[in-house]
Amino acid sequence: MTGLSVIRPGPLSLLQDAGRARWQHLGVSPAGPLDIHAAAWANCLLGNPPWGTPLVEIALGGVELESAVDTWVALCGAGLDMTLDGAPRPNWSRFPLRAGQRFCLGFARSGQRSYLAVAGGFRAGELLGSVATQTREGLGGLHGDGRPLRAGDLLPCAPASLSGMASVPWRFVPDYRAEPCLRVMLGGDAGDFAVAERRRFFAQSWTLSPQSDRMGARLLGEPLRAPTRQWSLGVATGAIQVPPDGQPIVLMADRQTMGGYPILGWVHPLDLGLLAQCPAHRTVRFERVDVEAVQGEMREFYRFFGR
């Protein structure tokens, strides 16, 4: 099979799809894209089903690919320079990629992650129903062993032809340069936190720790006093755990499936993408939102992308 050859893989490039949603009862992390907004748009631009079509999540940029097939690609996410045989191409758009052409990405100026999709999706064998790469557990990816893309890899894809260029309307393109205010649904163990502690969480700015990764976004600030919990429970993506040191952790796509730290609430699923696009040392703030408002917005989001 033909496809795109990896000349330079960048710091961390991972094949992803919608993830492994049905295996968490066995301790398997769901994985999947950290920024579902950018990933859905990349597939949507090409006419791919937005959910489940394999694409590549590129951290920071620095990627170079050479095509061995005539196809179309789309890139959405972090602000970076992009060229095709040296000619610039716009972000948040689709364009043709011909056999023999080289596609290069510079390093991100704003945001942290970009999503590269190809018409028809990249082809790879599924493991537990998904190609999503989970490096910690050694699952998924191009070879099924959970490793990131390397120089010399071939991303298989089929030839494709589309009718013309297309871009995401500007109103749907986030500004990754601004300090985000992330919406939070209180719940879990929130009632066991003192009222003053809940207020302090929302009143202060938090700094994103350099120790953050695809498993969890670690926050630094004035520590919270968390209640004591003596048992572990199942956890969900977006959960805000507060460990004994009082520095919250927001669970991301590669999270564990059980946790014993008290949970203050959950970050809005669409705002997790904004958090994933924040560089280390960026400050973030939080505001409270009702679960009904989040449910309505997510229904609208999924209807828009045809889920």
Q: Where do the structural domains in the chain lie, given as residue ranges? A: 3-172, 181-304
Q: Looking at residue 231, what is its pLDDT?
A: 81
pTM for the full predicted model: 0.95
Give me the half-sphere count of Cα atoms (radius 13 Å) on the Cβ side of residue 298.
13
Q: Looking at residue 22, what is its pLDDT?
A: 87
pLDDT along the chain (307 residues), means of 10: 93 96 90 96 95 95 96 96 94 95 96 97 93 94 95 95 90 93 95 95 97 97 89 92 96 94 96 97 96 95 87
Q: Looking at residue 21, what is its pLDDT?
A: 85
Q: What whole-number distance in Å separates Cα of residue 199 and Cα of residue 37?
A: 29
CATH architecture of the domain formed by 181-304: Beta Barrel (2.40)
